[in-house]
Every structure is written in C-alpha cells, then in structure tokens.
Amino acid sequence: MRIGRSLAFLFVAVVAASAAHAQEGSPAPAFSVRDLDGRNIRMQDLKGRPVVLDFWATWCAPCRASMPDLNTLQTRYAGQGLMVIGLSLDEDGTQPVRKFVDQLGVKFRIALANDRILSQYGPIRSAPTTIFINRRGVIVRRVVGYIDQETMDSFIRELF
C-alpha cells in the first residue's frame, strides 16, 4: 500500500515539475519550429525581444477573431522588437493553414506546433492559448481564450 502511494506521489511530482517550466514567472522554454516559409524560429534567437506565442487553430472561432488584433499588435510594436508567433494546432499540414492565413492577411509568423513545443508550453487544452514573454525571456502571462484588443494591448505594454 505504501509503495503505491509513493509511486503515485512521485508521478504527481514529476508531472507537476514538468508543467511548472511554462508557468507565469518562469523562464520561457527553448524551442525551435519551422514557419510556413521553412525558416527556423528559435527562442534563443529572440533574446531581448518581447514575444507573444499564440496557440490557435483554423477551426477555432475565437482564434479567427483574434487574428486581426494580433496583426495590429505586430505592426504597432514591430519597431520595439515585438515578435508575434502563431502556432497552429491543426493536424492537416501546412496547406490549409497557409490558405487560412493568406485569406486573413496575417502579418506575423506562423508555424505548426510540434509535439515538443506543445509539451514545453503545455498543457494546451484550449484554443486560443496565448503566452506573453518579456524581453528577459520570462513568461509574464498565460491566457486561455479570446482576448479583446484593448486588454491584449495592455498585456503587450507589460513586456517592455
């Protein structure tokens, strides 16, 4: 009986420790993904820049609603180094994602979320999930669900 409880506690501790690395106040985990144009996006290359990671999907209505707001933020704060990265949760490959972002005129970089980034920043249980990372590489905020333009803008200003 004690061994079972000990193993259960160990399992819970390991799961909690693995999830803790992507929480508010912790350093953003390193990652590497390829955008829709085949270029690498690596967290280490973004040091000193505020970053917004937006986990989204083409089938998600709140995600679609937030795309214009993310475009606006990328344009408004590009001169201050902001990098908005959309990480698609779609599983049908790049073609439907590319068609979707082209139709919407997305101006920020888009990549497919891979298993590694989902593990590092997860659990991602709902879309959209948006992670705000400041210039020092620390996760400042993690928001699940739609964020209106005014609120998102205030969150961005916290990153500088």
Per cent of the chain over pLDDT 70 is 87
The pLDDT assigned to 22 comes to: 78
Out of 18-27, 81-90, 146-155, least confident range: 18-27
What was the pLDDT predicted at 8?
37
The pLDDT-based confidence of 9 (bands split at 50, 70, 90) is: very low
* 153 touches 84 (CB < 8 A): no
pLDDT in the model for residue 25: 93
pLDDT confidence tier of residue 20, bands split at 50, 70 and 90: very low
Q: Which pLDDT score, from 0 to 100, does residue 14 have?
A: 37
Report the CATH fold assignment for 2-157. Answer: Glutaredoxin (3.40.30)
Given a cut of 70, whether residue 10 has pLDDT beyond it is no
Look up residue 27 and give its DSSP letter: B
Q: Which residues contact 24 (CB under 8 A, 6 or more apart)?
A: 139, 140, 141, 142
Average pLDDT over residues 15-27: 65
- Average pLDDT of the residues of the chain: 88
Residue type, 10: L
Place of tokens 């997305």: 106
Q: Is residue 66 within 8 Å of residue 128, measured between CB atoms?
A: yes
Q: Is the pLDDT of residue 136 over 80?
A: yes
pLDDT digits (tens, 9 = 90+) for 72-102: 999 999 999 999 999 999 999 999 999 999 9
Give pLDDT, residue 3: 44
pTM of the model: 0.85
The answer on pLDDT for 110 being more than 90 is yes
Q: What pLDDT sits at residue 7?
A: 37
